[in-house]
Chain A
């Protein structure tokens, strides 16, 4: 039995009071008196040569204080990345509908819009490259004619429109195919879906002579924004201050420096603060949504359900620039392999450049489309050999000590328990009524590592302040989870712990609120800092209480003698008696990455899943045979998250991720027409799930602790979004007797099937 008092409790999060009264200050609520208003002119063409840009009339408009076009930037400026191929503003060529061409700052938003209308761009439209698979052909037109000249990360396999070819090879698939009883093949396609955070992307820059360049941003990743702003300003990173503002949802979208560098440059030109908001129509036109994909799968199986070989080829449409596609391609490799013991596996994922917006990280990048392909394909495999889909999975899933396809050895594996508990909860073996069916999906996912830094200090009132370098984006990982970890370690209740998110001048470097990493890594750094602070407190108390440190304990805001609890001192008294002033400790988390078999992987920038989480989702749906409407009746999601720090927050992550995934399964779709123009750039035509579309979601928490996150916790945030497309598609398959291999599964597709 554990003795923890705060861990595992449904404690309130620090930000909940301000968020329920309207007092919480989001990026959208942050303004600087005298600020100018920025706006971006975007390409109306998916692909075009830019013959000239004339901004002179915009420049001349009264009230316009800065205008930027490509020729105002340093010649050849390309933004940092795995492949440096992206300009800040398009110069000679526009590569997607919505690409930034020019930017202005003016005294009012209306004036800024008026100025954009005065910029004359002479375009020569070109045919757009739309289909990722055909773009890999040697005879395809090029998205980047100068692709060979770009600086790129070593070891990345790339050519022409292929910005990354990530591959995994284990065993001998051909021999596996030759020896199997049955071979099943299928092709699966998914469309892009958008993060659709409720709060827009917004930044305010103050870049004035002689002052520290400062940008206020609602980003998830302050230090990557800093890298990009420093790059365009031509100053050292350490001299740039990125200040976090409240985040109203992000889901990966706010990792990217979409506006901060431009806003900083506008401010420098104008000599005034500049605020830039991305309107929803621009966000949906030219944000960084999920990759569209096409995947071919071929599986060899024995009649008893033993998986023998699997081959997968995925075309991962990256859009016009490389961005984070290479990393995401290797995550897709690991998801396509799945948590299965298949002895022969060959996977190719091609990240491909096309004339679309740069696709990127949306909650579980690399995940949902891979899981959809693999897990719906496995239902087809099960059907071919007449086996229950659940039994096929139980026969092949990995367990404790097993080796995953990339050669990493798995420990703390709660997969089987998630499968058993989720299927039991939904009554898997019970027959479904007419027009109803159940579907399953399972998988594994990573806990992203890298560095987090935190500082713990005891303030003069005896309260503990935890300083961190990355912001709360809504999940509660920081304002709930990290706070509970610190409270537990310091023997306090959460009310006596204050989390303070610091700007980049603090030096609290952090890889950000992303990648299912926040609580595990930021929490771990905070825990280390608290452990050290605790020692400092006990050392001071040792002198004041004249009791050996080993015989002292810290709980309930007091240090007391274990042998004589009457001998005690409060943290407040102690803080005020501290001869060295405020006691503080700084610590870092930079955990060892998982090891894997390098000989099996090529060009994989994310080659292993660190401290993996395991999950199983089951859905029950009803399909109206007349209209093709699908209703999700029940949804159960079981997640092995190592250790539950706060069950309410965990359920919140599961429920929210499931609904985003159901949106991807049934209704959400970023649409491009055949010429490459974006067509649905509002929330009427881009359909988001509402309460009326959703079932109540049942969350099951499974705990197989790992030795990474505080108190054994693994990552959680992304994994709930991985499974709904597959679980719902399999349920629709069971209800209708038909397979649906392309997302979203709209009523139209069902009615026409």
Chain B
């Protein structure tokens, strides 16, 4: 057993002091220690994108990032997206366009898209494809996800 260490993580605007083991990934800390299970787990080697969170506004695979490396950064998870229980226009677009089936990839897609639109509010189809190609969806065939992103962009949504 490795020695525990104490870190401070800022997740969805809240700062947590956490005692963790040095090899714990951010994904593990979010799910197991903070109970934020909206961040999804599967491949744990950066292939599927289900565990995507935003680190200082940039999408990262939380399964590949040691939690200790996230100290001092702003971490946003899917739980921190809706405000006061109100869906953001982007979440609404995903729901309305049928971009959500089983939904296991949805948190990752929503966060990746939010980062894209905040950097580039009116992306071309090529830019959308480039930004979202690191996230796997096995249900939708991507068509409705792209339509939802386009719809959100057309409405001038930034996150």
Contact = CB atoms under 8 A, between A and B. Distances in A.
Interface of A: 10, 12, 15-17, 19-26, 28-29, 195-200, 247-251, 279-280, 473-476, 648-649, 651-652, 654-660, 682-684, 688, 690-692, 694, 696-697
A26 B44 CA distance: 17
Q: Which of B40, B45, B100, B129 neighbours the largest number of chain A CB atoms within 10 Å of its CB? A: B100
A280 B42 contact: yes
B36 to A, nearest CB: 7
B138 A251 contact: yes
Contacts of A16: 95, 100, 103
Interface stretch (B3-11, B65-73, B78-86, B151-159): B78-86
Interface string B81-114: 1100001000100111110111111110010000
Interface string B29-56: 0000000111111111101101000000
A656 B102 CA distance: 11
By secondary structure, the B interface counts as loop
A525 to B, nearest CB: 23
B148 to A, nearest CB: 10
A19 B139 CA distance: 14
Contact of A19 (B41, B44, B103, B129): B103
Contacts of B110: 20
Contact of A198 (B39, B78, B97, B105): B105
Contact of B104 (A195, A199, A690): A199
Given A26-B104, A198-B138, A248 B40 contact: yes
Contact residues on B (Cβ < 8 Å of other chain), bracket: 35 or more
B102 A247 contact: yes
A476 B143 contact: no
Given A682-B47, A696-B146, A15 B103 contact: yes
B116 interface: no
Contacts of B107: 22
Interface in B130-155: 130, 132-146
Interface of B: 36-45, 47-48, 50, 77-79, 81-82, 87, 91, 94-98, 100-107, 110, 128-130, 132-146
A690 B37 contact: no
A247 B98 CA distance: 17
A649 B98 CA distance: 7
A199 B132 contact: no
A116 B31 CA distance: 25
A660 B132 CA distance: 18
B140 A652 contact: yes
Nearest to A23: B38
A694 B50 CA distance: 19
B12 to A, nearest CB: 11
B42 A474 contact: no
Contact of B137 (A12, A28, A198, A657): A198
A476 B101 contact: yes
Contacts of B42: 198-200, 280
Contacts of B143: 651, 655, 694, 696-697
Contacts of B36: 22
B131 to A, nearest CB: 9
A476 to B, nearest CB: 7
Contacts of A657: 141
A267 B79 CA distance: 33
Nearest to B105: A198
A22 B79 contact: yes
A648 B106 CA distance: 17
